[in-house]
Amino acid sequence: MSNEELAYVAGFLDGDGCVMAQLVRRKDYVYGYQIRTSIVFYQKSKNQRILQWLKSRLNIGYIRQRKDGMTEYVIVGLKEVEVVLKTLLPHLRLKKELAESVIRLIGAHPKKMTPEELVRLSRLVDDTARFNYSKKRTNTSRTIRSYLEEANLIPVETEA
């Protein structure tokens, strides 16, 4: 993409987009939770052509129409999100610090997850949450720690 296009896409993300790191409950995961990173661009469905253009330029992700008249262009996955954020980073303004935080989180993700690593990474996810306005966020590093303690996957912390 040209520098002009990159700046446009970054501005679109700053204004009508979202960068997220989430702790997602997954019963099929060994430690019960997944760290999911995503980028979402939002637009009214009548203007979804711009999202199709974005997808054609970035060559990843998918477009979905919501029932409320909005359409989303969604990019999910550690590597996919990292590539897009690193590409757009020099042009971001409003979401630059968040993007840097998510890039650090992705860089810290181990090839082999352990309970201790999951707790450590969940704290990094908590750090990214301060940039977003979620009213429904229930999974935090405390949730993860409690779950792992109850499952006897890590020792229970006691106060000194």
β-bridge mates for residue 51, sequence order: none
Residue whose C-alpha is closest to residue 81's, from 42, 125, 39: 39
pLDDT tens, residue by residue, 116-148: 999 999 999 999 988 887 778 889 999 999 999
What is 3-150's CATH topology?
Endonuclease I-creI (3.10.28)
Q: In what order do the strands lie in the sheet with 33-44?
A: 17-25, 33-44, 70-76, 62-65
Overall pTM surpassing 0.75 (yes/no): yes
Q: How far apart are CA 108 and CA 19, in angstroms?
A: 17
* Per-residue pLDDT tens digits for 50-109: 999 999 999 999 999 999 999 999 999 999 999 999 999 999 999 999 999 999 999 999
The string of pLDDT tens digits covering residues 84-96 is: 999 999 999 999 9
Question: How does DSSP classify residue 38?
Answer: E
Structure tokens, 123:
């704290």
What is the rounded CA–CA span in Å between residue 24 and residue 27? 10
* Closest listed residue to residue 151, CA positions, set 30, 25, 24: 30
Domain ranges of the chain: 3-150
